[in-house]
């Protein structure tokens, strides 16, 4: 059973719909204690980083415990940003801190008409350190064509670190997919990214089944 | 590289897709869920459902239509028409919309833009502007194009952005349904005045029109209805053409 965390940041309808289409069994836990039984945890979310303050305390503790117990975790958009140490968008609210680095505002480029928020379909690139630029690595990106397009909508981005398995460029490069052990994150919305997005969610479910 | 988005719009009345010319002479164009399914296969980037009678007949967009469309596509879905309050917006979001499009209500009560941006994030709030050319500038119309709002489109787009809108959906009433091409001057004027994405709408007739609005019109996305509904222009062929013109698209 996948635990889909509802902390009031945005709408879960489309994530639920995608999980249903993939045949996943999932629940939206009412109390943090329920996470102990979960085969995987998804932290979705759109909007301001300040919204993740709702995860403070018992929820945060339960998610951290699940990660420590080896339960796969997927952060989507704001949920991925929350995996890092914190964000300049709401410096007073700390992240979960399971990934090193801080989230900062994207700059765009007015001259090149690269606007912020970064809204729309953009490509996933393998980070340069991964060797051949076309080859995407990591369990979350298994079976995807080179440079697949996925749907983004955000104004802040996470740094490209050793945990980054795919980056995206919009005036600057930021982490689009992160993977560290059984902790995963995607800056885009897989539930809104057509077949490529469904494949990524399917890959996460496969990881959950294997654990 | 961020691609230019191709958006299919479905004007919905009584649960069916209709399309008119210059906001008049509506004719039947099909079932929303069926059309959405076809567009998805052809590679559409986004879908907009506008309940076109909602404002005039004072009713909310049909949750059943939204839900049926949302079950066909795993793509961004915008819903507009008759959204006057936070509760109206919540109803369409709960039915499966990712973004809400505000038009008349945003002009009447601009605070609604801010309220919804705080609740759902700016990315979920589109301000739709229906505008006509006049001697100087572009006049904004409301209530499905029936009433002059006494505002200029460029100035109103700027205000909408400052109040928290995440995108502008700009429709040329002069071009709507005419297939004479997008109003590139108007689109460029608004796009260059704001820092949020601008979706051009009204007048799409052929693939060249899209190339033109993405270059000369400075549009971030282009929306069309009738040319996709009646299968005159396939989304997949349109995108391949744009690719040959050096315009970045998701293929």
| Segments in chain B below pLDDT 50 | 56-58, 60
Sorted by where each begins, the domain ranges of chain B are 5-244
Sign of the alpha-carbon torsion through B229, B238, A121, A196: positive
- CA torsion B98-B122-B107-B138 (nearest 10°) is -100
Residue A110: predicted pLDDT: 82
Residue A47: predicted pLDDT: 76
CA dist., res. B232 & res. B228, Å (int): 6
Look up the CATH number of the domain holding residue A127: 3.40.50.880
CA dist., res. A35 & res. A53, Å (int): 18
Query: Per-residue pLDDT tens for A127-171?
Result: 875 555 567 889 999 999 988 999 999 999 999 999 999 999 999
Query: Per-residue pLDDT tens for A91-123?
Result: 999 999 999 999 999 999 888 888 888 999 999
B75 touches chain A (CB under 8 A): yes
Give the chain A residue whose CA is nearest to the CA of B76.
Answer: A192
Residue B58: predicted pLDDT: 42
Structure tokens at A166: 């795919």
**Least trusted range by pLDDT, from A2-16, A187-201, B94-108, B198-212:** A2-16
Residue B25: predicted pLDDT: 63
Query: Per-residue pLDDT tens for A30-71?
Result: 999 999 999 999 999 887 888 899 998 999 999 999 999 999
- The architecture of the domain spanning B5-244 is Alpha-Beta Barrel (3.20)
Task: Share the mean pLDDT of chain B.
Answer: 90
Residue A129: predicted pLDDT: 59
Q: Among partner residues B77, B122, B197, which is closest to A115 by beta-carbon distance? A: B197
When computed from its CA atoms, the radius of gyration of chain B, rounded to whole angstroms, is 16
Counting Cβ atoms within 10 Å, is residue B245 exposed (0-12), middle (13-18) or buried (19+)? middle
Cβ neighbours of B250 in A, within 8 Å: 121, 149
| Total domains, chain A | 1
Structural domain containing residue A183? 2-210
Query: Per-residue pLDDT tens for B166-179?
Result: 999 999 999 988 89
* Residue A179 confidence (pLDDT) above 90: yes
- Do the Cβ atoms of B72 and B40 come closer than 8 Å? yes
Taking the alpha carbons at both ends of chain A, their separation in whole angstroms is: 12
Q: Among partner residues B5, B96, B124, which is closest to A120 by beta-carbon distance? A: B5
Task: Give B74's contacts (C-beta < 8 A, 6+ positions apart).
Answer: A14, A17, A18, A21, A191, A192, A193, A194, A195, A197, A198, B40
Our answer to whether residue B152 is catalytic in this structure is no
B 190-249 residues with CB < 8 A to A: 195-197, 218, 220-221
A197 touches chain B (CB under 8 A): yes
Residue with more model confidence, A175 or A146: A175
CA dist., res. B241 & res. B229, Å (int): 19
Residue B238: predicted pLDDT: 96
Residue B56: predicted pLDDT: 47
């Amino acid at each position: 059973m996948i635990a889909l965390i509802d902390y009031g940041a945005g709408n879960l309808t489309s994530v639920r719909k995608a999980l249903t289409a993939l045949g996943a069994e999932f629940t939206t836990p009412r109390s943090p204690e329920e996470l102990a039984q979960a085969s995987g945890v998804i932290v979705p979310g759109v909007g301001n980083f300040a919204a993740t303050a709702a995860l403070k305390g018992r929820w945060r503790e339960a998610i951290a415990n699940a990660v420590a117990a080896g339960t796969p975790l997927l952060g989507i958009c704001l949920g991925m940003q929350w995996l890092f140490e914190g964000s300049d968008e709401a410096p007073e609210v700390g992240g979960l801190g399971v990934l090193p680095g801080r989230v900062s505002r994207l700059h765009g480029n007015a001259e090149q008409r690269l606007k912020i928020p970064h809204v729309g379909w953009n490509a996933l690139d393998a980070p340069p350190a991964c060797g051949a630029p076309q080859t995407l690595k990591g369990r979350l990106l298994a079976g995807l064509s080179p440079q697949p397009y996925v749907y983004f909508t955000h104004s802040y981005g996470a740094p490209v670190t050793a945990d980054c398995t795919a980056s995206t460029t919009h005036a600057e490069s930021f982490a689009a997919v992160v993977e560290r052990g059984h902790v995963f994150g995607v800056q885009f919305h897989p539930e809104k990214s057509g077949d490529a997005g469904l494949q990524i969610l399917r890959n996460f479910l496969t990881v959950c089944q294997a654990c | 590289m961020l691609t230019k988005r191709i958006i299919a719009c479905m004007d919905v009345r009584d649960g069916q897709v209709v399309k008119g010319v210059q906001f008049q002479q509506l004719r039947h164009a099909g079932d929303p869920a069926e059309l959405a399914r076809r567009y998805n296969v052809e590679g559409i980037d986004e879908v907009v459902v506008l309940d076109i009678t909602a404002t005039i007949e004072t009713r909310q967009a049909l949750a059943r239509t939204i839900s049926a469309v949302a079950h066909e596509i795993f793509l961004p879905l915008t819903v507009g028409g008759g959204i006057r309050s936070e509760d109206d917006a919540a109803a369409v979001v709960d039915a499966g919309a990712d973004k809400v499009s505000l038009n008349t209500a945003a002009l009447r009560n601009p605070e609604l833009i801010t309220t919804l941006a705080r609740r759902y994030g700016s990315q979920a709030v589109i301000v739709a502007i229906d505008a006509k050319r006049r001697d100087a500038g572009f006049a904004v119309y409301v209530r499905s194009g029936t009433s002059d709002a006494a505002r200029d489109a460029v100035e109103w787009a700027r205000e909408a952005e400052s109040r928290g809108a995440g995108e502008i959906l700009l429709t040329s009433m002069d071009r709507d349904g005419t297939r004479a091409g997008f109003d590139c001057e108007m689109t460029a004027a608004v796009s260059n005045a704001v820092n949020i994405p601008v979706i051009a709408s009204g007048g799409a007739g052929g693939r060249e029109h899209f190339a033109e609005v993405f270059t000369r019109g400075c549009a971030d996305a282009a929306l069309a209805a009738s040319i996709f509904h009646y299968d005159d222009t396939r989304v997949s062929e349109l995108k391949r053409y744009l690719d040959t013109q050096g315009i970045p698209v998701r293929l």
